[in-house]
Structure 1
Amino acid sequence: MKIGLDVLGGDYAPNATITGAIEAQKILKGDQKIVLIGDQKDTTERLKQAGVDLDKFDYVHAPEVISMHDHPTKAITQKPNSSIAVGFDLLKKGEIDSFASAGNTGAMLVGSVFSVKTIPGIIRPAIATNVPKLKSGFGILLDVGANSECKPEMLNQFAILGSIYAEYIYGINKPKIGLLNIGEEQEKGNNLTISTYPLLKENTKINFIGNVEGRELFTDTADVFVCDGFTGNIVLKLAESFYITTLKKGFKDEFFDRFNYERYGGTPILGVNAPVIIGHGISTPEAIKNMVLHSKDMIESKFIDKIRSVFN
């Protein structure tokens, strides 16, 4: 198993990425190796300083950086030696089994669609994230930013992707699918949700339970919450603020601790032909470690094959 990691991605790279990779490697098995993609000389020097055996990792030299301010589409083509561009090239060639980065989100989306491409039959990939449940565990929310404008057919596919993800990555049997809306009644909502409802209701590949409201997001009402990327991103950013607010207020609570992005490391792009994980721009070593381990889980579960079998 080869897990690709962008060493140069993120606000605290390369210190955070290399430290996180070191911690992840301690947990991985002998046949599971992290491929560090970045400035090879600088990377190996930092590993030596940390007292790490260099043979524990593989290396691919990619000295350029796609910054958070670079235009995603232009940067991929104009910076072919960047860690993100090289990472996707390796993924496309099958030289790594997954690719993770805390770098430019737009570039990661563009790289996914134009390099490894979407799985045949899928209109657009979606980004999924975890939402803590009050009792225990997590629900899944998607899309949270890949598609700000959606068609009903896209939300119908997001429901399938979310259901497969919840089942095979988190072991949830027959995940309950809810359509995030402003009311529980079928006729509630805007044109998008009203048109999506019957598609989900008739979809035999999912366990659709109907509309769910925002107040039910952290309950056991549903396991997967489906929405367009504009709505999902607003919900995600609001949820992330809960953890920061509790820290500032000096309030300690196990539930709010589970809003800490470090715990799950990154969010997957669902619907492309290989496991791709996007990390938070402010990823710490702990977040990087968990992003690598999440990549491992997606590879081991043969998650991509499960999606292909449903959409073929």
Structure 2
Amino acid sequence: MRIGLDIMGGDYAPKATVLGAIAAFKILAPEHKLVLIGDKPAALSILQENDFSADNFDFIHTTEVIGMGEHPTKAIVQKPDSSISVGFNLLKEGNIDAFSSAGNTGAMLVGSMFSVKTIPGVMRPCMTAIVPKLKGGLGILLDVGANADCKPEVLLQFGVLGSLMAESIYNIDNPKVGLMNIGEEEEKGNITSLATYPLMKATDKFNFVGNVEGRDLFGDSADVFVCDGFTGNVILKLAESFYVVTLKKGMKDEFFDRFNYEAYGGSPILGVNAPVVVGHGISPPEAIKNMVLLCRNMVESKLVEKVKQAFQ
């Protein structure tokens, strides 16, 4: 297995990404190879400072970087030697088995759709986030930002994608899928949710448990929470703030500690033809390490192949 890591992506790159690669290497099996994509001399300097052999990695040198504020499509086209563009070319050609970056999220989405492309049958790829549960375990929230507006048929597919991820990556048996809404009753919600409910109720693709509300997010009502990317991103940013607030208040609580995004590494882009994971722009080494490990888990679980089978 060869896992590609964009070492130029993120606010603290390349130092945080290279240190994260070192931490990941110490956990990965010998047959797992990390491919560092970016400024090779800069990476070698950081490795030397930390007395870590460069022989532990493969390197693909690039000369350009896509900034966090750049237009995704223009940047992908105008910067063919950027670490993100080169990473996707490697993924497309099969030279790496997975690709991860804490860089420009839009560029990662565009790169996914233009290079490895969307799995046939999938209308819209989506991004996921992990939600900790009060009694232990976790749930999956999707979409969290890739699609601000969604048709009912797209939300139905998110249910399929989220259910497959819950089973394959987190070993949740027959995961319960809920539709995020403003009430539990079938007749509640906006036009989109009202049209989505009967589609989910009729499907045999996943275990639909009905509407769920925001207050259900940290409980056991569902394992997969489906919503449009606008709603999901608002929920995600609010949830991330819980951890920050507890730190500022001097509180120490195991549950709120699990809101720390560093523990989860990044958000997989589901619905494309290869494992792709996007990390938080402010990712420190710990988050980079876990982003790489999530890539490994996606490859080992054959999640992409399972999605392809589901949408045949």
TM-score class normalised by the smaller sequence: over 0.9
Q: Aligned ranges for residues 33-48 of structure 1 at < 5 Å?
A: 33-48=33-48
User: C-alpha distance in 1, partners of 2:233/2:173?
Assistant: 27
User: C-alpha distance in 1, partners of 2:203/2:55?
Assistant: 49
Which SS does the other structure have where 2:130 is aligned?
Answer: strand
Which SS does the other structure have where 1:139 is aligned?
Answer: strand
**Who is 2:58 aligned against?**
58
1:259 paired with 2:259, answer: yes
Which SS does the other structure have where 2:146 is aligned?
Answer: coil
Give 1:52 shift: 1.1
CA root-mean-square deviation: 0.5
Which SS does the other structure have where 2:26 is aligned?
Answer: helix
Q: Aligned ranges for residues 86-97 of structure 1 at < 5 Å?
A: 86-97=86-97
Q: Aligned ranges for residues 165-180 of structure 1 at < 5 Å?
A: 165-180=165-180
Give 1:45 shift: 2.0
**Who is 1:164 aligned against?**
164
Give 1:63 shift: 2.1
Give 1:53 shift: 1.4
**Who is 1:113 aligned against?**
113
Superposed structure 1 runs of 4+ greater than 6 Å apart: none
Q: Aligned ranges for residues 135-154 of structure 1 at < 5 Å?
A: 135-154=135-154
1:307 paired with 2:307, answer: yes
1:279 paired with 2:279, answer: yes
Give 1:249 shift: 0.3
Which SS does the other structure have where 2:255 is aligned?
Answer: helix
Give 1:150 shift: 0.5
Structure 1 letter corresponding to 2:42: D
Give 1:20 shift: 0.5
CA deviation string 1:233-265 (max 9, x = no partner): 000000000000000000110000000000011
User: C-alpha distance in 2, partners of 1:290/1:130?
Assistant: 13
Q: Aligned ranges for residues 289-308 of structure 1 at < 5 Å?
A: 289-308=289-308
> Is there any run of 5+ residues in structure 1 with no aligned partner, and where?
none
**Who is 1:229 aligned against?**
229
1:103 paired with 2:103, answer: yes
TM-score, normalisation: structure 1: 0.99
Which SS does the other structure have where 2:140 is aligned?
Answer: strand
**Who is 1:218 aligned against?**
218
**Who is 1:190 aligned against?**
190
User: C-alpha distance in 1, partners of 2:33/2:50?
Assistant: 18
- The worse-fitting range, judged by mean Cα deviation, of 50-59 and 164-173 is 50-59
Structure 2 letter corresponding to 1:150: C
- The worse-fitting range, judged by mean Cα deviation, of 57-66 and 173-182 is 57-66
Which SS does the other structure have where 2:305 is aligned?
Answer: helix
- The worse-fitting range, judged by mean Cα deviation, of 152-161 and 46-55 is 46-55
Which SS does the other structure have where 1:74 is aligned?
Answer: helix
Which SS does the other structure have where 1:277 is aligned?
Answer: strand
User: C-alpha distance in 2, partners of 1:213/1:45?
Assistant: 50
User: C-alpha distance in 2, partners of 1:107/1:138?
Assistant: 28
User: C-alpha distance in 2, partners of 1:185/1:231?
Assistant: 19
User: C-alpha distance in 2, partners of 1:304/1:175?
Assistant: 18
Structure 1 letter corresponding to 2:93: K
CA deviation string 1:99-148 (max 9, x = no partner): 00000000000000111000000000010110010010110000000000
> Is there any run of 5+ residues in structure 2 with no aligned partner, and where?
none
Structure 2 letter corresponding to 1:136: G
1:26 paired with 2:21, answer: no
TM-score, normalisation: structure 2: 0.99
**Who is 1:12 aligned against?**
12
Structure 2 letter corresponding to 1:52: F
Structure 1 letter corresponding to 2:235: V
Which SS does the other structure have where 1:4 is aligned?
Answer: strand
User: C-alpha distance in 2, partners of 1:290/1:217?
Assistant: 23
